[in-house]
Chains A and B, each alone.
Chain A
Amino acid sequence: MTSVSADGTSVRDCMSEHVVTMRATETLDRAAQMMVEREVGSAVITRDADIEGIITERDVLRAVARGLVPWSTSVSDCMTPKPATVSTSTPAGTALSMMLENNYRHLPVVDEGVLVGIVSLRALAAIAAAKEAPAAS
């Protein structure tokens, strides 16, 4: 695809280093609280250094739609296991096309097996919009 990758913008330039992490055994309402408190839309589920999954606002929505009780449902029952990841050097356009093709809104950023950040559709969209906006003339 696209023009956003053409000028060398990479995930490094638009990711957030403030990743909210939690364990799979924590409850759904705790996940919601952490996302609200930290003003993020996802939390990465880790065990030791491994990424087990990701939980997003959309997963919370699905759980509510299924009638699950948030305080007795564990994150492991609602998370997406083994999420796709990118690295800091992945072109922004590649990350964006992964999101649009697969309906993801967040991708964990992993360098040499270590979780270093998260990149969101919003951050990539902001770059895309800025780059594509017609220049004032």
Chain B
Amino acid sequence: MTLEIGSLASEHLVTVGPQHTLAEAAQRMNQNKIGSVVVLVEAAMPGILTERDLLRSIAEGADAESTTVERYMTPIAITGSASWDVYEAANRMFEGGFRHLIVLDDQGSPSGILSLRDLVKALLETSSSDRLSEPRT
């Protein structure tokens, strides 16, 4: 059976702009208990800022209150189509070493974000339901 990632991704998309500060981005992530925010850039593909990027900024001694998101974000985020199969998404994540995938709708607009945690839960649920429905041999 296939499972499309469009149905798994978090629909509650938390966004910031490139000119927000890292502190503001951290507050949004913390309030929503998530590890990444989508950075909406006018007339361009969305970027992403993750907690790893924040970690890097702190390691480099950046002042989160005055440093902008733009300096530490990944400008063109890795995206996937809502119709991607869950295994395809998993492979892309493991190969690329990233933990969040921005899911685009048919119009190419960000419609959700898929985390590694969402993916693992789905993989396990899929496997248990497959197992229940499999005839014994």
A133 and B27 CA atoms in complex are apart in Å by 37
Interface residues on A, range: 35 or more
Q: Is the CB of B87 within 8 A of A122?
A: no
User: Which stretch in B11-19, B38-46, B103-111, B115-123 binds the other chain?
Assistant: B115-123
Given A3-B128, A64-B54, A126-B94; A96-B59 close (CB under 8 Å): no
A66 and B27 CA atoms in complex are apart in Å by 8
A48 within 8 A of B: no
Please tell me which one of the listed residues B56, B61, B128 contacts residue A2 in the complex, with CB atoms under 8 A apart: B128
A-B pairs under 8 A by CB, number: 101
B83 within 8 A of A: no
Q: A56's closest neighbor in chain B, by CB? A: B51
Given A58-B51, A122-B99, A129-B87; A67-B23 close (CB under 8 Å): yes
A7 within 8 A of B: no
Q: Which residues in B have their C-beta under 8 angstroms from that of A4?
A: 124
Q: What secondary structure prevails in chain B residues at the interface with A?
A: helix
Please tell me which one of the listed residues A41, A61, A122, A129 contacts residue B123 in the complex, with CB atoms under 8 A apart: A129
Q: Which residues in B have their C-beta under 8 angstroms from that of A126?
A: 94
Q: Is the CB of A61 within 8 A of B120?
A: no
Q: Is the CB of B116 within 8 A of A125?
A: yes
Q: Which residues in B have their C-beta under 8 angstroms from that of A29?
A: 58-59, 61
Binding site for B on A (CB under 8 A): 1-4, 28-29, 32-33, 35-37, 41, 57-58, 60-62, 64-67, 70-71, 96, 100, 121-122, 124-126, 128-129, 131-134
8 interchain residue pairs of minimum CB distance: A65-B30, A32-B58, A64-B26, A32-B59, A65-B26, A36-B59, A129-B90, A33-B59
